[in-house]
Amino acid sequence: MTNAVSTPSRSKALSGLAAILFAATSFATTAMAVTPEEIKAKGTATIGVQMDQFPWGFIDSKGGNDGFDIEIAKMIAKELGVEVKFERITGQNRIPLLVNGNVDFLVPSMTITEERAKVIQYVIPYSSNDITVWGKTDAAIKGNEDLSKYVIGVNRGSAFEPLLVKVAPKGTQIKRFDDDATTVQSLLSGQVDAILGSVTYGLVIKETGYDKQFERKYKVADNFQGMAVRKGDKELLAFLTDFITKHTADGSLDALYKKWIAVDRAKLPTELPGVDFTGKQ
């Protein structure tokens, strides 16, 4: 199995991440620490969430925020005894918004990576989003070695893109799209034979009535997701860690995951290589 399909594309993706981390770092010295008591005192928790990524966070037909992350954020605010204010985040702005103090913390369905952990403080994983290959039902794709026989689509700039470049055999034809929605649409419209991305792509495929023509081929990798606070926000880190631990034990996070993602929530780790969840490093 060879690694690189397109070295310039991989370098571009890594450069983009570096730019985001640099921008975040430039704000880090001015960010104020936030504790649960300070949030309670002001009466509002400003939480960064996605607003355009069904089923994680989206705007419903009535114009309100809904989704897996939204419900969790509301649970956290309720336990703090405060109102919740949602701040829209994107893959590009979420880290700067956090370290610059525009939000108190993130509930972002964000992949936990060593690079991001150098800038932000992750809480132990609360969710996962298996990285999956979806393809035409009649496409003979059983593993990474089969990808070179087909045209594969992926969301450019996502965590999925560098992984695809890494695992796909040399010569694999990769087409990149601007976001998850256009990536899924590329499969449904026949622009590509298969796509690599979120396990939740299956919800969109089923919702649009294409679940007979397209199917989940295989899991490529785990994709653990974490909430995040600023470096040094140890009390808030402890509060959110306790929240996840408590609601894992009582089954409420499992129930929400099953409700929104339609599969069982995986058993999540409390330790990952290169990532400090304790706030001591």
Q: Tell me: do 58 and 192 sit in the same domain.
A: no
Per residue in 187-217, pLDDT (tens digit) is: 999 999 999 999 999 998 998 999 999 999 9
Share of residues in the chain with pLDDT > 90 (%): 77
Q: Tell me: do 93 and 228 sit in the same domain.
A: yes
Q: Quick check: 119 pLDDT over 60?
A: yes
* C-alpha to C-alpha distance for 66 and 57, rounded to whole angstroms: 6
Q: Tell me: do 160 and 218 sit in the same domain.
A: yes
**Stretch among 78-82, 88-92, 102-106 having the lowest mean pLDDT:** 88-92
pLDDT value, residue 54: 87
Structural domains in the chain (count):
2
Q: Tell me: do 58 and 139 sit in the same domain.
A: no
Question: What is the SS3 string spanning 123-157?
Answer: CCCCEECCEEEEEECCCCCCCHHHHHHCEEEEECC
The strand ranges marked E within 29-158 are 44-49, 52-53, 57-59, 65-66, 83-88, 105-111, 121-122, 127-128, 131-136, 151-155
Give mean pLDDT, residues 270-280: 96
pLDDT value, residue 8: 40
Q: Tell me: do 41 and 94 sit in the same domain.
A: yes
pLDDT value, residue 89: 93
Q: Quick check: 93 pLDDT over 70?
A: yes
Q: Tell me: do 111 and 157 sit in the same domain.
A: no
Per-residue pLDDT band at 13 (split at 50, 70, 90):
very low
104 occurs within a structural domain: yes
Structural domain including 120 reads 36-129+224-261
CATH number of the domain where residue 207 is located: 3.40.190.10
Per residue in 227-265, pLDDT (tens digit) is: 999 999 999 999 999 999 999 999 999 999 999 998 899
* C-alpha to C-alpha distance for 250 and 259, rounded to whole angstroms: 16
14 occurs within a structural domain: no
- pTM score of the predicted model: 0.78
* C-alpha to C-alpha distance for 43 and 80, rounded to whole angstroms: 9
